Structure 1
Amino acid sequence: MSAARPPGVASPAVNYETAWLAAEQDQRGHIAALLQQLQQHHGLQGAQVLELGSGLGHNLRQLAPHNRVRGVDGLAEAAARASAQGIPTLCANLDQPLPLPDACADWVLCLDVLEHLVAPEQALREAVRLLRPGGRVVINLPNHFDWRGRWRILRGSGIDSQRYFPDRPGWHYPHLRFFRRRDLDTLLAAAGLAVQLELSHQCASLPKARLLATLGLARPVQALARAWPDLLQSGFFVVAGRRSTG
């Protein structure tokens, strides 16, 4: 839902959030590639998959041929459009307890959603509640403080490269939270989760990283990204499961 606007400020002609969700599909190739890895090598097949913050259903549409999928999103229009296109999607506030039964999913996806929430820890607690025994939570968070982000801030260009709300004189970003790698670890621990698979190094933000990979230097690039995650990773992508109490 669009946030309330100050008196005298015109609303845009379109629902900004839904328009951006549609446009950003072309910018999420790395997420599609990582999901494909999970399908091919890590058991994301024949499962009940629930995505929190599923938007227009791009991720679930990729997984639907080999899984049973369902989404939850806070934007009523996005949920309706995804449902109309064959991805059943519930509209609900992700900062609140969700009207879904315990242990209803084998996999819960939280891909580029926690940074939009007032209470991301609440969403992760819900993810754990919704998991079946042995289930997994897949999390991706953007890293605004890699070397590119730090340089942008030093130049006075803001915390992100896009002005998402150009009619606003102040805060232009849809993100409410900004995470370092250790902040993700803190969130996971508070929810009773532990990392089972780390793929963040595949989101390296080194200069010319793609060119270096085509030259056979993918491993050195990823090693550098592992060594300095806050500086050299464009995002943090992990698969987590319930922390062992034994």
Structure 2
Amino acid sequence: MNALAARRRHPAAIAVLLMLGLFLTGALYSAFAPEPAEATTQALASQSVEEGKALFRANCASCHGVNAEGRSTGTDDQIAGPALAGVGAAAVDFQVGTGRMPMTQPGTQAARSDDVKFTDEQIAALGAYIASLAPGPEVPSEEAVDPTQGDPATGGELFRVNCAMCHNFAGSGGALTRGKYAPSLKDVSGKHIYEAMATGPQSMPVFNDANMTPESKRDIIAFLTTINEQENPGGMTLGSLGPVSEGLFAWVFGLGILVGCAVWLGAKAA
């Protein structure tokens, strides 16, 4: 007993006990502690990329190639599907999220459709896979596309200078060359408008952050949201197509009334 008591009173005993306690605490923490947030995020991102890759090869590779390298039809160097490296997740979210892709049949231009083939999670996975191939525009945040934080007046000026020549002064769309067209922007979400400006789909030019700032893009979204929501004090908009629809209305109804009056007066005189 005296020898055991002497060991307990040894100056090194306390240090040994502390070291042993610290070792056991560290071992238990390593065994039961949750994974670091960064490791979890990387694991989820890797899983999303793999899921997107599987979805791409099952639904998109027939046109865009197994590795998104693009594919030619073999006729006059026409492209069945362009290469997608570098288009970014924003292009995928726009094309797939608006129902333009996958195309139901080859055509001059992919049309917007309410029949979206994939869920939001699947679209995000496809975007993650394409983004992993090469850097490209990212899907904008909710703040970047919030119309309440934009200036509709400034956005209207920017829209008329950069967009109205194709999309019409009120965003009603218009015809282009070779069967292509600028689609209507009515009831298009702010996110998809931003993504279209950032990626330049179809015949649209790319408005990157170097030639149009994110704040300017948000101002344009605010302008389009305003004209979509406000009432027209002048009455019927006739599609907001300008003199085309107005002239057609005048010819059909105006001349029709005049012809009807002439016939009525002729019959009354007889």
Which has the larger strand fraction? 1
TM-score scaled by length of structure 2: 0.22
Query: Which has the greater radius of gyration?
Result: 2
Which has the larger helix fraction? 2
